[in-house]
């Protein structure tokens, strides 16, 4: 019974933390694309599939922002998003475009129009990446024993914010976001490498073992952002299917 109570307490804590994480980190895309620039239905009237370039913006301008993903991980994430977005939306993302000089600019879309024109595109798929982290002391248990050692737990909350821009007319066709949460447990003393460091994907508790102790924070961020990307893709797919269903219903009623 005590074990059951402990398990229920841990589950409740995870649910509570996930609810809190729904607003952490705060939105950053509004500094690049105005919040009142919204749409979705207009995507149905655009020639499909749209030809677009993918722009990844790693935003670390917030005071509580965590470091960027490693370059190799950014490239991999870009390719995965390019393929996944093209799969779930009527958009043919032809390339990943460097965010050349794109900066937070109070939602000024002119910089995106200039970037699209430079690459000969009318549409841009913009993804703003941001994350925040918190670290605190914990006791790390060794296997199934009651023996424990002092350690640290680091939580990473990641956010991918997506906007499909019609650069020529300065309007937004689609908006969506995906959030991820992962936790790194690692010891403050060496000698327990058999179990630690370990990254947990929350709230599923799926485990990942970083290849090195020093690289553990990078693994944490990769796992968290990968989950955020999956959630973003799922939301985009659901949104597009909903638009198609609404359009079909409207046609039947007309």
Residue 38 lies in a domain: yes
Residue 2 lies in a domain: no
Locate 181 and state its tokens: 């949460």
Residue 220 lies in a domain: yes
pLDDT at residue 192 in the model: 64
Separation CA 104–CA 173 (nearest Å) = 20
Show the domain range for 30: 24-253
**95 Rama sector, left if φ>0, alpha if ψ -120 to 50, beta otherwise:** beta
Three-class DSSP category at 8 = helix
Give the bridge partners for 156, in sequence order.
Answer: 133, 182
User: What backbone phi and psi angles, to 5 degrees, belong to 240?
Assistant: -70, -40
Q: Which ranges of the chain have pLDDT less than 70?
A: 1-22, 36-42, 143-146, 190-193
pLDDT at residue 10 in the model: 41
Locate 166 and state its tokens: 């019609």
Residue 197 lies in a domain: yes
pLDDT at residue 6 in the model: 39
Q: Considering the entire predicted model, what is its pTM?
A: 0.87
pLDDT at residue 113 in the model: 94
**What is the count of structural domains for the chain?**
1
Residue owning tokens 């589950």: 11
Residue 4 lies in a domain: no
- CA-CA distances (angstroms) from residue 239 to 174, 189, 190, 231, 234? 9, 48, 48, 12, 9
Residue owning tokens 């995965």: 80
Residue 152 lies in a domain: yes
Locate 214 and state its tokens: 């020093």
Residue 130 lies in a domain: yes
Residue 11 lies in a domain: no
Dihedral sign, CA of 79, 128, 224, 92? negative
Judge whether 218 and 73 are in contact, CB under 8 Å: yes
């Amino acid at each position: 019974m005590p074990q059951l109570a402990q398990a229920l307490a841990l589950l409740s804590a995870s649910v509570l933390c996930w609810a809190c994480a729904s607003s952490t980190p705060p939105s950053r895309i509004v500094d690049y694309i105005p919040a009142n620039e919204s749409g979705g239905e207009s995507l149905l009237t655009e020639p499909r599939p749209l030809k677009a370039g993918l722009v990844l913006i790693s935003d670390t301008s917030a005071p509580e922002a965590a470091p960027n993903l490693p370059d190799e991980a950014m490239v991999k994430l870009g390719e995965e998003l390019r393929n996944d977005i093209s799969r779930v939306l009527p958009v043919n993302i032809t390339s990943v475009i460097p965010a050349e000089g794109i900066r937070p600019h109070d939602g000024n879309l002119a910089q995106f129009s200039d970037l699209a024109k430079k690459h000969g595109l009318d549409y841009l798929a913009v993804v703003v990446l941001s994350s925040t982290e918190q670290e605190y002391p914990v006791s790390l248990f060794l296997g199934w024993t009651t023996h424990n050692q002092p350690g640290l737990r680091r939580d990473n909350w990641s956010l991918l914010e997506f906007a499909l821009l019609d650069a020529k007319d300065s309007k937004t066709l689609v908006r969506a976001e995906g959030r991820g949460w992962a936790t790194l447990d690692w010891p403050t003393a060496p000698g327990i490498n058999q179990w630690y460091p370990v990254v947990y994907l929350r709230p599923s508790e799926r485990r990942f073992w970083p290849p090195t102790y020093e690289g553990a924070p990078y693994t944490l961020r990769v796992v968290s952002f990968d989950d955020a990307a999956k959630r973003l893709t799922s939301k985009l797919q659901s949104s597009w299917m909903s638009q198609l269903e609404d359009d079909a219903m409207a046609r039947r009623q007309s």
